[in-house]
Amino acid sequence: MKFSKFGQKFTQPTGISQLMDDLGNALKSDQPINMLGGGNPARIKAVDELFLQTYQTLGNDGSVNATGTATSTTALNSMGNYSNPQGDAAFIDALVGFFNRHYDWNLTAANIALTNGSQNAFFYLFNLFGGAFTNEAAEHNESNQSIDKSILLPLAPEYIGYSDVHVDGQHFAAVLPHIDEVSHDGEDGFFKYRVDFAALEQLPALVEGRIGAICCSRPTNPTGNVLTDEEMSRLSDIAKRYEVPLIIDNAYGMPFPNIIYSDAHLNWDDNTILCFSLSKIGLPGVRTGIIVAAPEVIAAVSSMNAVVNLAPTRFGAAIATPLVKDDRIKQLSDNEIKPFYQQQAKLAVRLLKEALGDYPLVIHKPEGAIFLWLWFKDLPIDTVELYERLKQKGTLIVPSKYFFPGVDVNDYKHAHECIRMSIAADEQTLIEGIKVIGEVVRELYDNARC
């Protein structure tokens, strides 16, 4: 069968798709696997119990008919009816109340749309603000009616899942980071990325009007970096100056799942597009994303929902609504989810220091999210090759070069020296996975010294 160019773009094997297949296939194999590669959140007991209890309540809250059967339960209403394209109205109302209770944003329902997960939101937003634009300045010049605009990622590395979302080609510009040596919990051996504002403000694409939006994940997937309030404020100013929106991927951020350990605040205004997700509070299977933005953006997202999906899925909304209404989603995040991952990060750092303390490993300061980002300075092989060697020994991580959308990594050595490892695994998996990483990496450095 012949596929369109659109189809060919999506079916072409890319490095990322091969990697994803690899991860999927490895999970299906008989060999035991130390899975430090994926993005699945941990199963946390208190979290699971609350979700299960909520699930059961939704199936029993209806009126009981003559034969003793509960009908018109929330569960049935959610299964049995479409929402409108903007998303489940009861959940949107609950979110409006929640955000206005905790922030001074003065939202209305016109500021919120739901999507089938965060990836779906970024598919919409990056095509809405990246790709071919009508060139208003050249309206009467036929040869130049179109202008190509990119999504500006102010701090590479960024999320692997952004790379392929444009319906036609790739439209990213990225700025390489400042790398600062920092301490963490009083210890050395850490670094932190910072936005290179000098490079950012001189970026030809920005200055020349070829940027359609600025986007960052905060905390950052893959690094666990949290952009400081000051960095965010400067990005917001630049976005306003160039009349483009600032998109913040809040999948790991405030106020839920709140996997963030640094002192940071969340702001919103009508030039900001905030993207939230239910995945990392422990509900990835329900595919529910939340966009908070100006009404014109919400209207556009609703239109795209209508055409791409008719309407978003409702079950995640049904489960989350009672937890958002009475703030349990925030208590769960603050009291269970955040401490869990903070503990996991501590454990993983300790194990890594024990295994590789005398070797040139530096770790990105763990400020949030569910990953550690490890930099093996001057590693004798690139980390795609390291990934292969670790996989041979039953340990899966993700090599760094796929986390640089908008960067030509051929000329950037650092992009070949890092790996992302998940800390969502159980203690035994962390212990055994890091043991393998230690053995393989020590051997590589030791052999290079000979």
Residues 272-311 that bind a second copy (CB under 8 A): 279, 282-287, 294, 296-297, 299-300, 303-304, 306-311
Least distance from a second copy to the Cβ atom of residue 283, Å: 5
Q: How far apart are CA 436 and CA 449, in angstroms?
A: 20
Least distance from a second copy to the Cβ atom of residue 433, Å: 19
Beta carbon nearer to a second copy, 316 or 438: 316
Q: How many other CB atoms are found less than 10 A from the CB of residue 281? A: 24
Least distance from a second copy to the Cβ atom of residue 68, Å: 11
Residues 13-32 that bind a second copy (CB under 8 A): 17, 20, 24
Residues 168-197: x where in contact with a second copy by CB under 8 A, - otherwise, as a string: x-----------------------------
Beta carbon nearer to a second copy, 69 or 428: 69
| Backbone torsion region of residue 25, taken as left when φ is above 0, otherwise alpha when ψ lies between -120 and 50, otherwise beta | alpha
CA 374, 377, 380, 384 torsion-angle sign: positive
Least distance from a second copy to the Cβ atom of residue 274, Å: 15
Show the tokens assigned to 95. Answer: 């979110």
- Stretch touching a second copy by CB under 8 A, among 77-85, 178-186, 346-354, 405-413: 77-85
Residues 215-254 that bind a second copy (CB under 8 A): 243-245
Least distance from a second copy to the Cβ atom of residue 152, Å: 14
Beta carbon nearer to a second copy, 45 or 140: 45
Residues 31-60 that bind a second copy (CB under 8 A): 38-41, 43, 45, 48-49, 51-52, 55-56, 59-60
Cis peptide before 177 (omega within 30 of 0): no
Q: How far apart are CA 150 and CA 213, in angstroms?
A: 7
64 binds a second copy (CB under 8 A): no
Least distance from a second copy to the Cβ atom of residue 292, Å: 15
Q: How far apart are CA 371 and CA 38, in angstroms?
A: 10
256 binds a second copy (CB under 8 A): no
- Stretch touching a second copy by CB under 8 A, among 78-86, 174-182, 375-383, 411-419: 78-86
Q: How far apart are CA 62 and CA 46, in angstroms?
A: 26
312 binds a second copy (CB under 8 A): yes
Beta carbon nearer to a second copy, 121 or 386: 121
Q: How far apart are CA 361 and CA 418, in angstroms?
A: 9
Classify residue 402 by its DSSP letter.
Answer: G
Least distance from a second copy to the Cβ atom of residue 313, Å: 4
Classify residue 202 by its DSSP letter.
Answer: H
Beta carbon nearer to a second copy, 245 or 433: 245
Classify residue 368 by its DSSP letter.
Answer: B
Q: Distances from the Cα of 357 to the Cαs of 14, 146, 387, 420, in angstroms?
A: 35, 54, 21, 18
Q: How far apart are CA 296 and CA 174, in angstroms?
A: 27
* Residues in the chain, overall count: 450
The amino acid present at 380, given as its one-letter code, is: P
Least distance from a second copy to the Cβ atom of residue 449, Å: 41
Q: Which residues contact 447 (CB under 8 A, 6 or more apart)?
A: 380
CA-based nearest residue to 172, from 186, 188, 183, 156: 156
Beta carbon nearer to a second copy, 285 or 380: 285
Residues 126-155: x where in contact with a second copy by CB under 8 A, - otherwise, as a string: -xxxxxxxx-----------x--x------
Beta carbon nearer to a second copy, 111 or 441: 111
Least distance from a second copy to the Cβ atom of residue 386, Å: 24
70 binds a second copy (CB under 8 A): yes
Q: Distances from the Cα of 210 to the Cαs of 135, 150, 205, 232, 366, in angstroms?
A: 10, 6, 5, 21, 34
- Stretch touching a second copy by CB under 8 A, among 111-119, 177-185, 221-229, 419-427: 111-119
- Report the DSSP beta bridge partners of residue 274: 248, 292
Residue identified by tokens 């949107």 is: 92
